[in-house]
Amino acid sequence: MKHYNLFLDDYRIPEDCLEYKDDERYGTETWVIVKSHEAFVQELETRWEDGEFPKLVSFDHDLDDEHYHPAMWKGVEAYEHAYKQFTEPTGRRSAAFLKSFCLEKNIPLPECLIHTKNPAGEVRIRRTLNLGDRPSE
């Protein structure tokens, strides 16, 4: 199986994360960049059919302007209430898709990073991937 790194973000590139994440891989690794949940799903499925699977995935949470809600600063519970009104998928849905994909294929989850600046969104993704609630540094 061939491997690649997958970066989900609607407007940033991996190097932008070096400003606020202490992980040099954002600047040293080669990344496949996708900008939406739909593109994430298509990239994962298409590359799987070609015998490729990510070794590293980095998630943004907010993939549409509607996701930048003031509740993101008030905790996960407040943000969950706002989330019910969103029409576009967030990076949390992409994380859930990846987790289900791995279960379906009986393969281990790749290493996952979360580079979102949304604190409630980060916890939502962490919980989805069973990474605990503690935000990364």
Residue 137 pLDDT class (50, 70, 90 cuts):
very low
Total number of domains in the chain: 1
CA distance 114 to 108: 18
Q: What is the pTM of this model?
A: 0.88
Residue 133 lies in a domain: no
pLDDT given at position 135: 55
In the chain, the DSSP E strands lie at 2-8, 32-34, 52-59, 111-114
Q: What CATH number corresponds to the domain at position 83?
A: 3.40.50
H and E: helices and strands count for the chain: 5, 4
User: What pLDDT, on the 0 to 100 scale, is given for residue 55?
Assistant: 98
Residue 137 lies in a domain: no
CB–CB of 3/53 below 8 Å?
A: yes
- The answer as to whether 123 is a domain residue is yes
Q: Could you tell me the residue range of the domain that residue 6 belongs to?
A: 2-128
Examine residue 60 and state whether it is found in any structural domain, yes or no.
Answer: yes
Average pLDDT over residues 34-57: 98
Residue 32's pLDDT is what?
Answer: 98
d(CA 91, CA 107): 21
**Average pLDDT, rounded, for the chain:** 90
For residue 135, tell me if it sits in a domain: no
Using N-to-C axis directions, what is the helix angle for 37-49 and 91-105, rounded to 10°? 20
